[in-house]
Amino acid sequence: MSGVAAASPSKTGEISGTASGGDSAHALKASTTIVVAGASGDLAKKKTFPALFGLYNNGFLPSDIRIIGYARTKMDPEEYHKRVTQYIKAPIPAMKKKLEEFLERCSYVSGQYDKDDGFEELEKELKKCEETYEDKKAPKNRVFYMALPPSVFTVVAANFKKHNYSEGGINRIIVEKPFGKDLESSREMQVDLKKEWKEEEIFRIDHYLGKEMVKNLLVLRFANVMLDASFNKNLISNVQITFKEPFGTEGRGGYFDEFGIIRDVMQNHLLQVLSILTMERPVSFSSEDIRDEKVKVLRYIPEIKFEDVLLGQYTASGDKPGYLDDETVPKGSICPTFASCVLHINSPRWEGVPFILKAGKALNEQKTEIRIQYKDVTQGIFKEITRNELVIRVQPGEAVYLKMNSKAPGLAMRTVPTEMDLTYKRRFSDLKIPEAYEALILDALNGDHSNFVRDDELDIAWKIFTPILHYIDEKKPRPHSYAYGSRGPEELEKFVQDKGGFVR
């Protein structure tokens, strides 16, 4: 990832007010231990450890970093290291050597989440690690990463505070989504967390905020006069934000069935994208200024009504199982694995523009993209001319392209739809784009909250979605079926059209 920041320095522009790199008082550069709670789990092995190694390999972790895993599962060091490295790619000898060094810094403590003795053992291991620090007198910093199911978040956070909080050093706690199941449970969770931890110590991860293209949204909008000027109800007909995955819940059904696609992806990842896309220009790029603007735009969104939602659940197709065939899913579940909903932002800039969100599992492809559809060109001199469309592809293959009409080359006077295309692979071919988790863990170490969720932001996001979630939980509307690998329920096209979206 080190190459990313290095995009031809003479041509890159500074962004004022960002904490990254600049806020040295809060950046943890040494004397730091990271504790990964839930170190035996899926997130830890697939995302947390690979991201920590990515940062270590590129010299971004504090110089004398130590990493301690904590979970109930009993594992000897060999077994633990196998788990840590399972998803780490180290294809060249230099990386292999670095990986060995990294593993020397990784240890593991097994303990319960609700009993004192495990945390006391952890404290002993923390002290042991801290004895290895180069500067023996420096305050000891501790970062607690919660790769745990939400049911144990608060008890573990309280035990960390009680047994493992560093007096004199900087303490931070990184919490994973989901932050509750509705407004009420989210508030309860926040109250419990805040009994022990200060807001500036809490980093709530929504990993979409670490994705390169999501981070680019602010620059695309506010550093390009013509784009910013066109972002309003006078020129834009509708905006569609789509999340598609080509696989189902596969083994994660137990978790998923309790949450459903709206809580899993829409209320957090897609709403974050929407708020950054539509917020007003912040006073600076500091975390508080950015988050103030995000909250402001979210407050213009009224709660969603059931008629503005379409739900779906995937069924078996060929050798692919349906949602209900997953053994971890309760029989007869009506949990939606697909949802589309239309939101309105009743601000002077956006009033009347429908924002159509779509999210689904077991669809025909993997794709997260934002499609901004402009209004029709006045016909008159043109016939059947296509609309302008700005597409921002978050993944896979980051790209921004603007569909525009041009004269078809030749003697005849005809129009042809063309594209102005910024495909990252072509434009930034020699740069490796950092993984979202690498970017976010580094931000947390630097004390930069810009790409983390603030408590009031969370509250307003839940306010928008809680009524519809309660409606679904209580009334149990049956979702439309769609085949595994399809584009979603057949009813989707009509729904999108009825809600003001343009379907190609």
Which residues contact ligand BG6 by CB under 6 A? 207, 245, 264-265, 368
Min dist. Cβ of residue 8 to ligand BG6 (A):
28
Q: Could you identify the residue written with the tokens 């589309």?
A: 340
Q: Read off the tokens for 479.
A: 């979702």
* 245 binds, options ligand BG6, ligand NDP, none, Cβ within 5 to 8 A by partner type: ligand BG6
* Pairwise CA distance, residues 224 & 237, whole Å: 20
Whole-number minimum distance, CB 72 to ligand NDP, in Å? 3
Residue 54 is a binding residue for ligand NDP (CB under 6 A): no
33 binds, among ligand NDP, ligand BG6, none (CB under 5 to 8 A by kind): none
DSSP of 77-88: HHHHHHHHHTT-
- Based on the shown chain and the rule CB under 6 A, indicate whether residue 151 belongs to the binding site for ligand NDP: yes
Q: Side-chain half-sphere of 364: how many Cα atoms within 13 Å?
A: 6
71 binds ligand NDP (CB under 6 A): yes
Active site residue 269: yes
Q: Which residues are CB-neighbours of 412 under 8 A, at least 6 positions away?
A: none
Q: Tell how strand 354-360 and strand 236-244 pair up.
A: parallel
CB of 413 to ligand NDP, least distance (A): 53
Among the listed ranges 17-25, 67-75, 101-109, 275-283, the one in contact with ligand NDP (CB under 6 A) is 67-75
Q: Which among ligand BG6, ligand NDP, none contacts residue 152 (Cβ within 5 to 8 A by kind)?
A: ligand NDP
Using the rule CB under 6 A, is 149 a contact of ligand NDP? yes
Smallest distance, ligand NDP to C-beta of residue 295, A: 23
Amino acid at 499: K
66/177 with CB nearer ligand NDP = 177
Rama region for 50: left / alpha / beta (φ>0; ψ in -120 to 50; rest): alpha
CA distance 385 to 375: 11
CB of 416 to ligand NDP, least distance (A): 43
What does 32 interact with, of ligand NDP, ligand BG6, none (CB < 5 to 8 A by kind)?
none
* Options 69-77, 208-216, 230-238, 322-330: segment touching ligand NDP (CB under 6 A): 69-77
Cβ proximity to ligand NDP, 50 vs 62, nearer residue: 50
Q: Is 50 an interacting residue with respect to ligand NDP (CB under 6 A)?
A: no
> Using the rule CB under 6 A, is 422 a contact of ligand NDP?
no
Q: Which of 72, 425, 470, 494 binds ligand NDP (CB under 6 A)?
A: 72
Q: Which of 81, 269, 344, 449 is labelled catalytic?
A: 269
Judge contact between 357 and 265, C-beta under 8 A: no
Q: Which is nearer to ligand NDP, 16 or 151 (CB)?
A: 151
Does the CA dihedral 51-99-398-503 come out positive or negative?
A: negative
Closest distance to ligand BG6 from the beta carbon of 245 (Å): 6
Closest to ligand BG6 by CB, 245 vs 293, is 245
- Decide: is 41 part of the binding site for ligand NDP (CB under 6 A): yes
Q: Select from ligand BG6, ligand NDP, none the partner in contact with residue 264, using the beta carbon and a kind-dependent cut-off of 5 to 8 Å.
A: ligand BG6
Sequence-distant (6+) residues with CB within 8 A of 413 are 407
Nearer to ligand NDP, 87 or 222 (CB): 87
**Minimum CB distance to ligand BG6, residue 391 (Å):** 17
DSSP string, 173-241: EEEESP--SSHHHHHHHHHHHHHHS-GGGEEEE-GGGGSHHHHHHHHHHHT-HHHHHH-STTTEEEEEE
For ligand BG6, give the closer residue by CB, 264 or 448.
Answer: 264
Residues in Cβ contact with 423 at an 8 Å cutoff, skipping those fewer than 6 apart: 397, 398, 399, 401
Map the footprint of ligand NDP across residues 163-222, applying CB under 6 A. 176-178
Choice between 354 and 479, CB closer to ligand BG6:
479
Segment lying near ligand NDP (by CB under 6 A), choices 35-43, 212-220, 337-345, 391-399: 35-43
Structural tokens at position 424: 């990252």
Three state DSSP letters for 333-362 = CCCCCEEEEEEECCCCCCCCCEEEEEEECC
Q: How far is the CB of 130 from ligand BG6 (least distance, A)?
A: 33
The alpha helices in 237-323, defined as continuous H runs, are 253-261, 271-278, 287-299
Q: What is the dihedral of CA 225, 231, 235, 240, to 10 degrees?
A: 140
Is residue 391 a contact partner of residue 369, using CB atoms and an 8 Å limit? yes
Cβ count within 10 A of residue 218:
19
User: Which active-site residues does the annotation give?
Assistant: 269
> Which residues of the shown chain bind ligand NDP in the complex (CB under 6 A)?
38, 40-44, 46-47, 71-73, 113, 147-152, 176-178
